[in-house]
């Protein structure tokens, strides 16, 4: 039995891409230009917080449901970073909430897109034979 999505896969794709590109631009902006943490070097910050987001770029833009599914592993880095920052840094709580918001949007919409688009294409996880 297939459940009907509340949103179309096109809408879910747009929401996921909104969260993705928001994270892609938000993280370097926050950590390079806004954060006053002198321990962070600019090149290292860009590598650690931008490079992982570039791996799924092509598949997300093309709408590949597999990419939407595995990119959720990458977005967990940002989810955990935001929760850690909320816990330890009182000065950057507002910025951490923004990161958490974008990561959550990308995770939820991407999960539903992968599920419903995969069903449309007839893709499924094969069940183990008994």
Where exactly are the structural domains of the chain?
24-121
pTM, 2 dp: 0.86
Cα distances from 4 to residues 103, 116, 117, 129, in angstroms, run 25, 8, 11, 28
Distance CA 110, CA 20 (A): 9
Interatomic CA distance for residues 53 and 75, integer angstroms = 8
- Write the pLDDT tens digit of every residue in 44-55: 888 888 999 999
**For residue 64, what are the contacts with CB-CB under 8 A and spacing of at least 6?**
none
88-116 tens-digit pLDDT: 988 899 999 999 999 999 999 999 999 99
- What's the pLDDT at 129? 67
């Amino acid at each position: 039995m297939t459940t009907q999505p509340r949103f179309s896969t096109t809408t879910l794709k747009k929401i996921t891409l909104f969260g993705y590109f928001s994270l892609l631009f938000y993280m370097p902006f926050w950590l390079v230009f806004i954060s006053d943490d002198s321990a962070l070097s600019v090149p290292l910050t860009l590598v650690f917080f931008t490079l992982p987001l570039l791996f799924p770029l092509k598949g997300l833009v093309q709408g590949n449901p597999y990419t939407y599914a595995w990119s959720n592993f990458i977005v967990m880095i940002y989810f955990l970073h935001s929760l850690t920052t909320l816990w330890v840094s009182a000065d950057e709580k507002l910025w951490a909430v923004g990161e958490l918001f974008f990561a959550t949007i990308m995770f939820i919409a991407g999960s539903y897109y992968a599920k419903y688009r995969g069903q449309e294409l007839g893709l499924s996880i094969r069940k183990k034979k008994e």
